[in-house]
């Protein structure tokens, strides 16, 4: 081939990569091929954007104990599988200690200093043979691929997510055990040690823009003890390490925008830290049937912040004799976005029996068999729907459902575009509903289609005048569906 043609072709390829990374302002960000940016709230506070102001949503997976329970090969297998299924985000916790079985056993007997698969522990030992959380064990000379300490291996996970174009939510420690524990001797963090540890983590991983720092861990900030002063000091410590500036939790500063921090607990982060300067992402954590109402409450109340559904039912979980199948998981996926949590949704997987329910949570033997549960494979169809519509313009629109609303797990949820062009209703079951088409204001007629969340298939349902209310029945043999109503030009 002529050398000039080769150079020309290479130039076109380079330009195409540059264009795809820079994109257009207001267009969705494709995280598949480009270096990840530090995320920030959109101008209206409803979703996340990258440095070029392109909307970014997070479709995540919970892999909490990956740093202590996975080898590098395990990390590669899990993350590549999730990437292939459409995930672009994963949540992990630096230290949790889940080697014992029941929670009571964990907090009484656990050292809170878990050994990872390479024999490294995160902390030195205190006089009570528990973790000395002020003194992380640091051994010079290691690398993420040839670790000398616990933190090298954690960096391998952080690097791997970045290389796959995936964001990572990193909890410094599991607050339910280390901070808010109901057993006093297990409350290992003080304000001083929380700051020291936060500063260590912020400094150690300061070069990575794709980290979302998550304080807490499965517990309200005020539970057993008021943990807010400790979490606030941890946020200040992370900021010190990551930005090398002294920031205060109650003082606004542009430098807080250099990191993304949230809180993982029941209800929402803003319930405990509404006016804190570090809180930029409102993580909501609740099981259904309270999911929709919980998200909607925080959407309409308080300071507008992007909302991320940080944890829901785990697929395969058995609770009170009820198995949580893919249909329940899909309901949560769609109710999340249709309720206004436009920052994203986090999926979890357990197992098919109560006895092995933590198989993937703890990466127990056989966990790879749980990667291909039905709901995990259907995340890509949620992604497909989002990518085909201007989801960042959505707002909750429950009042368009005039009857057939349902309740609890079968609650129908609706959202509408702010420009009057789109209306989407999620049917959690097969019960018909009457929809007010007047919400479509951009045209006197609308095209209607059904979307199948199980496989991404569509079915045309006709064209209707928008000056009316119309009853719609989901297609036969569909478990759930999305009704898409779009203004016809």
Taking only the tens place, the pLDDT of each residue in 452-462 is 999 999 999 99
304 and 443 part of one domain: no
Task: Name residues whose C-beta falls within 8 Å of residue 476's C-beta, 6 or more positions apart in sequence.
Answer: none
pTM score over 0.85: yes
How many structural domains compose the chain? 2
362 and 427 part of one domain: no
423 and 377 part of one domain: no
214 and 258 part of one domain: yes
β-sheet bridge partners, residue 485: 423, 448
CA distance 47 to 29: 12
DSSP letter for 216, please: E
Q: What is the pLDDT of residues 102-149, one digit of tens each?
A: 555 555 666 789 999 999 999 999 988 889 999 999 999 999 999 999
- Give the domain CATH number at 443: 2.60.40.1180
Residue 20 lies in a domain: no
Residue 172 lies in a domain: yes
54 and 81 part of one domain: yes
CA distance 194 to 196: 5
Q: Which of the residue ranges 118-122, 224-228, 302-306, 368-372 would you say has the lowest mean pLDDT? A: 368-372
CA distance 420 to 489: 13
Domain boundary among 337, 364, 393: 393
Q: What is the pLDDT of residues 21-53, one digit of tens each?
A: 433 345 554 444 456 889 999 999 999 999 999
Residue 379 lies in a domain: yes
Helix runs in 258-404, H state only: 270-273, 291-300, 326-338, 374-377, 379-388
Residue 61 belongs to what domain range? 27-393
Q: Which of the residue ranges 17-21, 279-283, 356-360 would you say has the lowest mean pLDDT? A: 17-21
pLDDT at 288 exceeding the cut of 70: no
pLDDT > 90 in the chain, percent: 75
Structure tokens at 467: 């000056």
pLDDT at 9 exceeding the cut of 50: no
Residue 211 lies in a domain: yes
100 and 31 part of one domain: yes
Residue 7 lies in a domain: no
Q: What is the pLDDT of residue 27?
A: 53
466 and 375 part of one domain: no
Task: Report the SS3 class of residue 459.
Answer: strand
276 and 421 part of one domain: no
Q: What is the pLDDT of residue 320?
A: 72
241 and 286 part of one domain: yes
Domain boundary among 338, 371, 393: 393
310 and 402 part of one domain: no
Structure tokens at 252: 């606004």
Starting from the edge strand earliest in sequence, which strands make up the sheet with 394-396, in order? Answer: 394-396, 413-417, 422-427, 481-487, 445-451, 458-465
Q: What is the pLDDT of residue 4?
A: 47
123 and 241 part of one domain: yes
140 and 119 part of one domain: yes
Domain boundary among 393, 423, 450: 393
- Give the domain CATH number at 215: 3.20.20.80
- Identify the residue whose tokens are 């090398």: 244
């Amino acid at each position: 081939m002529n050398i000039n043609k080769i150079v020309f072709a290479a130039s076109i390829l380079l330009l195409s990569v540059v264009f795809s990374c820079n994109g257009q302002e207001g267009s969705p960000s494709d995280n598949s091929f480009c270096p990840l940016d530090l995320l920030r709230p959109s101008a209206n506070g409803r979703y996340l954007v990258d440095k070029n102001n392109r909307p970014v949503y997070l479709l995540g997976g919970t892999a909490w104990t990956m740093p202590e329970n996975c080898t590098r090969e395990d990390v590669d297998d899990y993350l590549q599988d999730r990437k292939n299924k459409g995930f672009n985000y994963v949540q992990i916790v630096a230290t949790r200690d889940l080697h014992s079985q029941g929670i009571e056993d964990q907090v009484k007997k656990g050292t809170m200093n878990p050994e990872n698969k390479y024999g490294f522990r995160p902390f030195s030992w205190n006089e009570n043979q528990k973790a000395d959380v002020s003194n992380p064990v640091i051994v010079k000379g290691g690398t993420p691929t040839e670790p000398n300490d616990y933190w090298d291996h954690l960096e391998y996970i952080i690097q791997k997510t970045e290389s796959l174009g995936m964001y990572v939510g990193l909890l410094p420690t599991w607050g339910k055990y280390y901070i808010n524990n109901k057993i006093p001797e297990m409350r290992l963090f003080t304000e001083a040690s929380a700051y020291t540890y936060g500063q260590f983590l912020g400094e150690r991983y300061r070069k990575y823009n794709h980290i979302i720092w998550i304080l807490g861990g499965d517990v309200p900030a005020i539970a057993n003890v008021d943990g807010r002063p400790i979490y606030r000091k941890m946020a200040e410590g992370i900021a010190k390490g990551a930005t090398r500036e002294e920031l205060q939790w109650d003082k606004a500063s542009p430098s807080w925008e250099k990191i993304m921090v949230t809180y993982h607990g029941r209800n929402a982060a803003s319930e405990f830290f509404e006016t804190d300067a570090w809180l930029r992402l409102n993580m909501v954590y609740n099981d259904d049937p309270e999911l929709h109402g919980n998200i909607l409450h925080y959407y309409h109340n308080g300071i507008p912040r992007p909302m991320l559904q940080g944890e829901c039912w785990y697929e395969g979980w058995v609770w009170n004799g009820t198995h949580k199948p893919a249909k329940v998981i899909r309901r949560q996926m769609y109710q999340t976005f249709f309720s206004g949590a436009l920052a994203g949704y986090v999926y979890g997987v357990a197992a098919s029996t109560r006895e092995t329910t933590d198989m993937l949570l703890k990466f127990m033997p056989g966990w790879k068999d749980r990667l291909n549960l039905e709901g995990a494979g259907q995340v890509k169809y949620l992604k497909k729907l989002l990518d085909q519509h201007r989801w960042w313009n959505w707002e909750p629109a429950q009042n368009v459902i005039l009857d057939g609303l349902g309740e609890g797990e079968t609650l129908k949820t609706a959202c509408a575009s702010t420009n009057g062009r789109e209306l989407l209703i999620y049917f959690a079951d097969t019960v018909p509903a009457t929809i007010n088409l007047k919400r479509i204001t951009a045209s006197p007629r609308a095209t209607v289609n059904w979307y199948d969340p199980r496989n991404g298939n569509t079915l045309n349902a006709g064209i209707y005048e928008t000056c009316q209310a119309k009853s719609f029945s989901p297609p036969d043999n569909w478990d759930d569906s999305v009704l898409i109503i779009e203004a016809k030009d």
